[in-house]
């Protein structure tokens, strides 16, 4: 090969390598840009707002520990409607977006604030609200209760601009303003017009240019500034609360409630809220697409919550359930649950509802089984009547038979669908064609299946169970929630759409939410699932106990 040819090949080789290097460099630049764009879009995605741990924010420093109720919102309120729209089915996106926006705007309107006109362009992701006892002379007409609201600002000028417009508007409307200093802070107070009400006392303070405090009067605001000075008085310094939030995991908001607030605002039955050993409640709200989860810890100063039974019998009962159900419950100790002398908070909570169900004439057989069963027990209610699942010999069928016969039922055997069933019937009088006759009306049927007993109100209910189907999806939903529990669950419940809506319609927070949204939210409810378990951390101390609750509300 000539020297000129070698030189040409060398130059071509160098050019080839330069071209490849340029190509690789270009690809790396494009890839980096693509990743950067993806990261920026992901950061701005409305789905990102739910991806954060529950934790105490800076605003919690101004929330008193002894407040009746605190609500701490941890995500940007401006992005909430966009998130709801993103996770909703296409056909419902507009309605869901509008509903969520009205809920948000209604919540701020309670404090006399117009979200779109006054807050949207500057408000940050930390919003804390507290209801507390107001012993000052400026308490207004709220029965000795005051409130304080802390709003974070996205920039140092947003909150300041808001304050200028807020008080300028009210000053032009004739409000007398008072400007004072307290603990080195400038306080402005006057009377602001709340939505649909007479003007009420209101006071404001700006902390470090990026945290705004609003309160129902100067006395309440001074109280919030006082507690911020002592770690033992404010939420931010509460180590026990921080541990509770850590155990609850991630979410968008958390709530604390005293026993008085549990009764007044959350609709907790008086049998629970009036207990002398009740400390209070901590709850976190989590979103999963269209589902809303509520995880809570209810604390008691005494060891009153029995440990859960970790046996696998409950799993076998749930696996053996089948058929279309409107309600599905798995109870660990039904006999103890309906004991009127029980100090178990769950018994005091659940027993009245369960007893009302068992007191109906059609549930006579179910009542006999529950009264004798030490558990676990599966209770299913549907169009085919009630169905109970128990483990073999708990309760013994002989004991149930004796109880049913005392109640006037007659026991016998029946072959149905190739199965030999024990049945209990009652004689009822019928009149046909002018003649009276007696016929046997089925009250209870018992089917033995391996080491489980299945008690049914109807033969159709037993047939549906053997089919193994789960048309309503309640069985699957209960299994999903059980799998997430940090300890064996003691009581579990799943309700289909109609029972869920009926139950929520009587719950005080749900009534308030619908009032804020200006429309009924019930048509969107598809199911409600709840599991309860003793908190293992608190039970180890031997001096106190806590109840861990996990509820999931499905929308569609």
Q: Are residues 480 and 340 in the same domain?
A: yes
User: Is 175 inside any structural domain?
Assistant: yes
Rounded CA separation 270/260 (Å): 10
Bridge partners of residue 493, in order along the sequence = 329, 530
Rounded CA separation 248/55 (Å): 10
Helix (H, G, I), strand (E, B) or coil at 440: strand
- Look at phi and psi of residue 222 and say left if phi exceeds 0, alpha if psi is from -120 to 50, else beta: alpha
| Residues 128, 63 contacting (CB under 8 angstroms) | yes
Q: According to the model, what pLDDT value does residue 35 have? A: 37
Summarised one tens digit per residue, pLDDT across range 265-309 is: 998 999 999 999 999 999 999 887 778 899 999 999 988 887 766
Q: According to the model, what pLDDT value does residue 435 have? A: 65
Q: Are residues 205 and 312 in the same domain?
A: no
Rounded CA separation 522/505 (Å): 8
**In the structure encoding, which two tokens stand for residue 69, read together?**
């109720």
Question: Residue 242 pLDDT > 60, yes or no?
Answer: yes
| Residues 236, 150 contacting (CB under 8 angstroms) | no
Q: Where does a domain end: 464, 494, 524?
A: 494
Distances (CA, A) of 59 to 139, 238, 277, 284: 23, 13, 30, 17
Q: Which helix (H) or strand (E) holds 256?
A: strand 253-257
**Close Cβ partners of 516 (under 8 Å, ≥ 6 residues apart):** 102, 103, 106, 107, 110
Question: Residue 187 pLDDT > 70, yes or no?
Answer: yes
Q: Are residues 320 and 398 in the same domain?
A: yes
Q: Where does a domain end: 236, 259, 285?
A: 236
End-to-end CA distance of the chain: 78
Q: According to the model, what pLDDT value does residue 394 have? A: 87
Q: Where does a domain end: 447, 467, 494?
A: 494
User: Is 551 inside any structural domain?
Assistant: no
Summarised one tens digit per residue, pLDDT across range 59-96 is: 999 999 999 999 998 888 877 777 777 767 777 777 77
Domain that holds residue 162: 58-236
Q: Are residues 224 and 339 in the same domain?
A: no
User: Is 135 inside any structural domain?
Assistant: yes
User: Is 549 inside any structural domain?
Assistant: no
Rounded CA separation 46/232 (Å): 37
Rounded CA separation 487/332 (Å): 13
Q: What is the CA radius of gyration of the chain?
A: 31
Which pLDDT band, with edges at 50, 70 and 90, does 33 fall under? Answer: very low
Where does 456-496 have alpha helices with state H?
459-467, 474-484
Place of tokens 């169970």: 465
Percent of the chain's residues with pLDDT above 90: 38
**Close Cβ partners of 445 (under 8 Å, ≥ 6 residues apart):** 414, 416, 421, 422, 423, 424, 455, 456, 457, 458, 459, 462
Residue 182 burial by Cβ neighbours in a 10 Å radius (0-12, 13-18, 19+) = middle
Q: Are residues 193 and 311 in the same domain?
A: no
| Residues 102, 517 contacting (CB under 8 angstroms) | yes
Rounded CA separation 5/11 (Å): 10
Q: According to the model, what pLDDT value does residue 487 have? A: 66
User: Is 129 inside any structural domain?
Assistant: yes
User: Is 30 inside any structural domain?
Assistant: no
Q: According to the model, what pLDDT value does residue 361 have? A: 67
Q: Are residues 124 and 227 in the same domain?
A: yes
* Omega within 30 of 0 (cis) for the link into 44: no
Rounded CA separation 322/380 (Å): 9
Q: Are residues 231 and 348 in the same domain?
A: no
Summarised one tens digit per residue, pLDDT across range 311-360 is: 568 888 998 999 889 999 999 888 888 888 888 888 888 888 888 888 87
User: Is 400 inside any structural domain?
Assistant: yes
Rounded CA separation 482/496 (Å): 17
| Residues 490, 332 contacting (CB under 8 angstroms) | yes
Count other C-beta atoms under 10 Å from residue 211's C-beta. Answer: 21
Question: Residue 29 pLDDT > 70, yes or no?
Answer: no
**Close Cβ partners of 1 (under 8 Å, ≥ 6 residues apart):** none
Rounded CA separation 197/177 (Å): 19
Q: Are residues 224 and 310 in the same domain?
A: no
User: Is 353 inside any structural domain?
Assistant: yes
Concatenate the DSSP letters of all residues of 120-178 into one string. TTTEEEEEEEEEEE--STT-TTSTTEEEEEEEEESSTTHHHHHHHHHHHHHHHTTPPPE
Domain count, the chain: 2
pTM for the complete prediction? 0.83
Q: Which of 178-182, 246-250, 434-438, 477-481 has the lowest mean pLDDT?
A: 434-438
Instruction: Look at 197 and 342; give whichever has higher pLDDT.
Output: 342
Rounded CA separation 509/548 (Å): 20
**In degrees rounded to 5, what are phi and psi of residue 353?**
-70, -45
243-246 long-range contacts, Cβ below 8 Å, gap at least 24?
Answer: 244/282, 244/297, 245/53, 245/54, 245/55, 245/56, 245/282, 245/284, 246/53, 246/54, 246/55
Q: Are residues 227 and 337 in the same domain?
A: no
Q: Are residues 222 and 130 in the same domain?
A: yes
Q: Are residues 310 and 218 in the same domain?
A: no
Q: Are residues 214 and 323 in the same domain?
A: no
Summarised one tens digit per residue, pLDDT across range 145-180 is: 899 999 999 888 889 999 998 888 877 767 778 899
pLDDT (mean) for 237-249:
93
């Amino acid at each position: 090969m000539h020297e000129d040819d070698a030189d040409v090949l060398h130059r071509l080789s160098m050019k080839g390598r330069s071209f490849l290097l340029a190509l690789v460099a270009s690809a790396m630049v494009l890839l980096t840009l693509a990743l950067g764009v993806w990261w920026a879009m992901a950061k701005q995605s409305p789905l990102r707002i739910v991806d954060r741990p529950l934790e105490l924010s800076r605003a919690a420093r101004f929330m008193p520990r002894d407040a009746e109720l605190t609500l701490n919102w941890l995500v940007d309120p401006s992005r909430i409607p966009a998130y709801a729209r993103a996770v909703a089915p296409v056909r419902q996106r507009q309605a869901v977006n509008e509903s969520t926006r009205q809920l948000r705007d209604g919540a701020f309107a309670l404090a006399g604030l117009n979200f779109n006109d006054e807050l949207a362009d500057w408000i940050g992701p930390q919003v804390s609200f507290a209801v507390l006892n107001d012993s000052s002379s400026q308490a207004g007409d709220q029965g000795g209760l005051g409130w304080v609201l802390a709003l974070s600002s996205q920039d140092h000028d947003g909150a300041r601009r808001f304050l200028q417009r807020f008080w300028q508007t009210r000053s032009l409307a004739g409000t007398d303003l008072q400007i004072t200093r307290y603990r080195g802070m400038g306080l402005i107070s006057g009377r602001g017009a709340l939505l649909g009400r007479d003007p009420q006392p209101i006071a404001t303070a700006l902390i470090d240019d990026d945290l705004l405090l609003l309160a129902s009067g100067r006395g309440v605001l001074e109280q919030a500034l006082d507690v911020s000075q002592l770690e033992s008085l404010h939420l931010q310094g509460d180590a026990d609360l921080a541990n509770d939030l850590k155990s609850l995991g991630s979410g968008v908001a958390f709530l604390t409630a005293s026993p008085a607030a549990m009764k007044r605002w959350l609709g907790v039955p008086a049998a629970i809220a009036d207990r002398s050993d009740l400390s209070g409640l901590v709850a976190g709200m989590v979103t999963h697409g269209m589902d809303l989860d509520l995880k809570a810890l209810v604390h008691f100063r005494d060891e009153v919550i029995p440990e859960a039974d970790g046996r696998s019998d409950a799993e076998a009962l749930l696996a053996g359930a089948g058929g279309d159900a409107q309600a599905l419950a798995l109870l660990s100790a039904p006999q103890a649950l309906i004991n009127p002398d029980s100090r178990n908070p769950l018994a005091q909570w659940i027993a009245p509802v369960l007893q009302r169900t068992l007191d109906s004439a059609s549930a006579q057989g179910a009542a006999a089984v529950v009264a004798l069963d030490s558990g676990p027990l599966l209770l299913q209610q549907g169009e085919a009547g009630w169905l109970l699942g128990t483990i073999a010999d708990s309760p013994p069928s002989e004991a149930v038979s004796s109880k049913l016969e005392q109640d006037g039922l007659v026991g016998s055997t029946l072959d149905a669908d190739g199965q030999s069933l024990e049945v209990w019937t009652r004689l009822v009088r019928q009149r046909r064609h002018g003649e009276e006759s007696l016929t046997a009306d089925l009250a209870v049927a018992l089917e033995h299946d391996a080491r489980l007993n299945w008690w049914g109100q109807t033969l159709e209910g037993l047939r549906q169970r053997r089919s193994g189907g789960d048309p309503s999806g309640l069985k699957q939903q209960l299994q999903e929630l059980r799998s997430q529990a940090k300890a064996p669950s003691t009581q579990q419940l799943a309700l289909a759409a109609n029972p869920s809506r009926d139950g929520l319609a009587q719950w005080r927070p749900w009534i308030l939410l619908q009032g804020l949204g200006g429309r009924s939210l019930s048509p969107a409810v598809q199911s409600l699932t709840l599991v309860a378990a003793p908190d293992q951390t608190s039970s180890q101390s031997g001096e106190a106990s806590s109840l861990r609750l996990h509820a999931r509300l499905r929308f569609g």
